[in-house]
Each structure stands twice: as C-alpha cells, then as structure tokens.
C-alpha cells in the first residue's frame, strides 16, 4: 500500500473525512495489534497508516482554522497568550 497524497484528502467533504479518519484509526490499531502478536509481512505499512491519519487530521484542523475569526486565531495558542499578557 502506497502512501496517499495530501491532495487526496483536500478534495473530501467533512463527513467523508471524519468517517475515513475513524476507519483509518481502527485499521491502524488492529494492524498494530496483529503486528505485535504475529508480525506483519511489511511493517512499514504501520508508518504509512499513521502518516495518513496525521494528514487527514491536519486537513481537519486546517478547515477548523479557516472557519475561525481573527480573534480566535490570535488566542489559539497558549504561548501567544502568555507572551501578550507580559
């Protein structure tokens, strides 16, 4: 299984993306368990699965941030908030 491209996830709608994240996480955890018990033929599949989940979650976060107002974007980081209060 080859690693999917990030652009594949940008074309999905929010519902499909959320469903794919849940499915990919479940698949990753079951594969990780199988690898622990009996081993996988290609253990790099775990890395690919983990990275695909991360790419999907990145796209979800990017969409969340696009919906935020300017005030919310300013306050999103605790570090920025602490620096501003000094």
User: Mean pLDDT score of the chain, rounded to an integer?
Assistant: 87
Closest CA to 64 of 17, 1, 29: 17
What percent of the chain is modeled with pLDDT above 70? 90
**Total-model pTM:** 0.78
- Mean pLDDT value of segment 12-26: 94
3 backbone φψ class: left, alpha, beta (φ>0; ψ -120 to 50): beta
Between these two residues, 70 and 44, which has the higher pLDDT value?
A: 44
Q: What is the pLDDT of residues 35-67, one digit of tens each?
A: 999 988 888 999 999 999 999 999 999 999 899
């Amino acid at each position: 299984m080859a690693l999917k491209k990030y652009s594949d996830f940008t074309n999905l709608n929010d519902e499909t993306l959320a469903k794919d994240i849940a499915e990919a996480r479940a698949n990753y955890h079951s594969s990780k368990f199988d690898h622990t018990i009996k081993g996988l033929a290609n253990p790099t599949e775990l890395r690919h699965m983990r990275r695909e989940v991360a790419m999907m979650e990145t796209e979800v976060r990017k969409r969340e941030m696009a919906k935020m107002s300017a005030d919310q974007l300013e306050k999103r980081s605790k570090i920025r908030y602490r620096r501003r209060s000094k």
